[in-house]
Amino acid sequence: MTITAKPGFFYYEQDGEKMGEVSYLTEDHGQVFTLYHTYVDPSLRGQNIAKNLVDAVVEKARNENKKVRPACRYAAVLFRRFPDDYADVALPAAEGHNKDSSAT
């Protein structure tokens, strides 16, 4: 699976069509990536694509010595479900910061 990085988001493309993405904001003077939206096309859900997209942002954060705030529902659940995988970069989601996501 190939994930492509663009400023503010990573996406997964299949047959030339964007089929999933995770969007993030750079906040706190460039030290935090806030994940605010995760989406995977319904036909591809259940294949770990959303997790791989979130993990791409997490890897970027690790490489740049930054933190990640999981503000979308999917990322927040992922960080709670697998705390050991994200403990080194995870910040708590901000109150009132949670956004919808469609990545089930």
Please report the DSSP string for 31-97 in residue order. Answer: TEEEEEEEEE-GGGTTSSHHHHHHHHHHHHHHHTT-EEEE-BHHHHHHHHHSHHHHTTTB-PPPTT-
Residue 103 located in a structural domain: no
Residue 99 located in a structural domain: no
pLDDT at 94: 61
Specify the higher pLDDT residue, 18 or 92: 18
Residue 38 located in a structural domain: yes
Percent of the chain with pLDDT over 70: 89
Q: Is the dihedral of CA 74, 80, 83, 89 positive or negative?
A: positive
pLDDT, one tens digit per residue, over 36-53 is: 999 999 999 999 999 999
CA distance 28 to 11: 24
Structural domain of 45: 3-86
pLDDT, one tens digit per residue, over 7-31 is: 999 999 999 999 999 999 999 999 9
pLDDT, one tens digit per residue, over 53-90 is: 999 999 999 999 999 999 999 999 999 999 999 999 99
Q: Please give the tally of structural domains in the chain.
A: 1
Question: What CATH number has the domain bearing residue 78?
Answer: 3.40.630.30
- Model confidence, pTM: 0.88
Percent of the chain with pLDDT over 90: 86
Residue 7 located in a structural domain: yes
Count of CB atoms situated within 10 Å of the CB of 57: 25
